[in-house]
Structure 1
Amino acid sequence: MTFRFSTSRRRLAAVGAGLAVAALALTACAGGSGSDASESPAGDEGFGDLTLQLSWILNEEFAGEYFADTNGYYEEAGFSSVNLVPGPETGVAPLLSGSADVALSDAVSIGSAVASEGAPLKIIGATFQANPFTILSLADGGDIATPEDLIGKRIGIQDSNRTLFDAFLLANDIDASELTIVPVQYDPAPLVNGEVDGFMAYLTNESITVAAEGLETTNLPFADNGLPFVAETFTTTDETIASSRDMLKAFLVAEIRGWTDAVNDPEEGSRLAVEVYGAELDLNPENSLAGAIAQNELVVSEETEEFGLFWISDELQAATIESLERAGLEIEAGDLFDLSLLAEVYEE
């Protein structure tokens, strides 16, 4: 079984044009609807610097951020600079320590911190409408096509993904003792070399890399097997929402503009990753382009075409909460999501 993506949806030129106007409006007048009177508008001095913690290395996964930086969208939104800090990182620690203003993460990592630790964090939007996590295996090896196929297998799991994998097991009524968890890094070499039967991966990254080596692969996507949730979530603290609402809205505008470009031009997004932002990583151009094209299917959905990029509908919020409940995490949608800033951006 080889996972395949559906055909691309229509382009988003109209969205980009509309958000260009919105960006100028927010830059010129930071006092939008819903703003707290105690806030300090951007004014002539702007919002200053912002630190964005990325969930992964500087590859094509963050093409929208590269466009926003390269094309001046962050600057037009009122920022002196936006510092893109590479991962791997769930974003919880940098946000709580104050070393990051916003983090790209996933609903399970953030939901776990909120439900288990009472972390004062909120998801204010999501780049990926469906999460890209998968258990990758070789068709002539582990051939893990169903959750039950995990039983008795050796599964390579990265430390930062252990909470998420445990949630996947719980959602499918599988005890960790029924398989062998092997600590690995992010290079899928242990899978290719036969050291593990399955490997926790991204559909838009390692799955493409391994298949490009001429190996037939099998994927067990989390989103299709009991754990659908949003990913690459824009997450920040409750305090930042309360004290810097206009700053966050201006940031979202720049991000929407950047991701509109990324959806419309995956070739340039890939080039920016390979030649500019990730130049020191020696990224494979062909694999990078394949990933940039594939991830657009996660960014664009019928709901984002209707309501706008990053939007998380009530139905998708409910599905995410249900996934967390199946993973043993009790949490209400209002404790995890705050879409009011994004709503104001689109209203304005």
Structure 2
Amino acid sequence: MTPITMTRRTFGGLSALLLAGLAGCGRENPGSGGSSEVTYQLSWTHSVQFGGTYIAQDRGLFEDLTVRLAAGGPNVAGDANTVSGAALMNISSADGVARSNAEGADLVIIGAQYQKSPATILSLADAPLREPQDLIGKQIGVAGTDTPGLTAFLTVNGLGQSDVQFVPSQYDPAILTAGQVDGIFCFYNDLPVALAVQGIEGHSMLLADFGYNPMSQTYTVLRSSLEDERKRAQILRLVRGDARGWQAYRDDPQGAAELTVRMHPDAGLDLPTQLRQAEVQLDIMFSELTDQFGFAWFTDEQVAENLKLFDLLGIEGADERLWDRSILDEVYQNGPTA
């Protein structure tokens, strides 16, 4: 499957950016012996969520690339930045990329940092929600943008929106700790960590363990970039360096957390939270599959599962061509270590 032909946040404004020129995503530095500067767009604000990437940058693992790491956030449209040429590659999600392409983009997913979606239902330990049937009759806090995902999760598990009371949430755990809801839709390596650091014990029900596993933290590029010799070579070095960084992260998540805080002193990060998050996200980033094939690997079966989820999410027009595993094939041509 090379390419496949049979593998949080905001994507608004893409249609307008489709008219922008594709300049600036991989600028050559004159007189630098072939080195080049590229922008790698992250999916959210700086934190140890991107710890492996920081290691790659800190240790020079991107080979002769000069990599600018652009922080994401609620007002950053990562896919649109790649479409416009502001970034060579961005971190996204399969459903987000599919929506972007439905609006006219031609983006391709070439890897997935997360083996499991971080989407979770967080409840308190003294009243845990352990499986989908436990949600019946309960109040679940959910942000408006996450409502389609929670609805799809219920459908996958034979439940309907009428079985659960959706309570509008601003992604704030206070409504859970105050007893206003029984659970809250959030991310496994985010709000559960925040509560744990405060000494509040919670229970996380990963939706991926119950049939809802949209591919997350995807390496996303323009199809035309894969077809351009120079840009493809840059993408290869970018992904290979990133994979090496994440391999090092797995060996020393504490070091990754410390590096994150040191590299981003203005990001408002505290070390205890970063340390716990660094450990927690190992659960969703590495698996038997990555041990066998390499970090960020994905399978035909995962692709098929995601296409079924797209139907539930009302996303039209996507097929197997949304994914291309050829870069990963090159990164791991000699085995599962980059």
Same fold flag (TM > 0.5):
yes
Kept after mapping to 2: 8 A contact 1:325/1:331: no
* 1:57–1:41 distance in 2 versus 1, CA, 3 Å: closer
What is aligned with 2:52? 64
Q: Which has the higher helix share?
A: 1
1:206 maps to 2:191: yes
Contact 2:303-2:320 at 8 Å conserved across structures: no
CA distance in 2, matches of 1:150, 1:108: 24
Structure 2 counterpart of 1:161, one-letter code: D
- Structure 1 residues 159 and 236: CA distance shift in structure 2, 3 A: farther
Name which of 324, 327, 333 aligns with 1:341: 327
- The reply on whether 1:302 has 2:293 as its aligned counterpart is no
1:305: Cα distance to partner?
1.6
Alignment of 1:1-348 (within 5 A): 44=32, 46=34, 48-74=36-62, 76=63, 78-88=64-74, 91-114=78-101, 116-117=102-103, 119-140=105-126, 143-176=128-161, 178-243=163-228, 244-277=231-264, 279-329=265-315, 334-347=320-333
Query: CA–CA distance in 1 between the matches of 2:152 and 2:85?
Result: 27
Does 212-221 or 159-168 show the bigger shift? 159-168
> What residue number does 2:22 align with?
none
The Cα of 1:152 is off from its aligned counterpart by: 4.1
> In the superposition, relative to structure 1, how do residues 213 and 260 fare at CA in structure 2: closer, same or farther (>3 Å)?
same
SS in 2 for 1:137: strand
Aligned partners of 2:138 and 2:164 also within 8 Å: yes
Separation in 2, partners of 1:160, 1:289: 29
- Taking a change above 3 Å as real, the CA distance of residues 83 and 41 of structure 1, as seen in their structure-2 partners, is closer
Task: Provide the TM-score with structure 2 as the length reference.
Answer: 0.78
TM-score, with length taken from structure 1 = 0.76
| Cα separation, 2, equivalents of 1:166 and 1:285 | 35
Question: Which shows bigger deviation, 58-67 or 202-211?
Answer: 202-211
Cα RMSD after superposing both structures? 3.0
Closer, same or farther: CA 52–287 of 1 in aligned 2, 3 Å? same
- How many Å separate the matches in 2 of 1:176 and 1:51? 41
Q: Deviation per CA, 1:154-173, whole angstroms, max 9, x where unpaired?
A: 43333553443343234334
The question of whether the paired residues in 2 share the 8 Å contact of 1:105 and 1:233 is answered with yes
Q: Offset at 1:268?
A: 0.9
Structure 1, unmatched stretches of 5+, are 1-38
Cα deviations by residue, 1:247-287 (Å, 9 ceiling, x for unpaired): 1111111111111111111011011222322x334333223
Q: Aligned partners of 1:221, 1:303: CA distance in 2, in Å? A: 18
Change (3 A) 1:269 1:118: same
Question: Structure 2 CA distance, aligned partners of 1:90 and 1:146?
Answer: 33
Cα distance, 1:192 vs. partner?
1.9
Counterpart Cα distance in 2 of 1:117 and 1:271: 40
Give the aligned residue type for 1:49. Answer: E
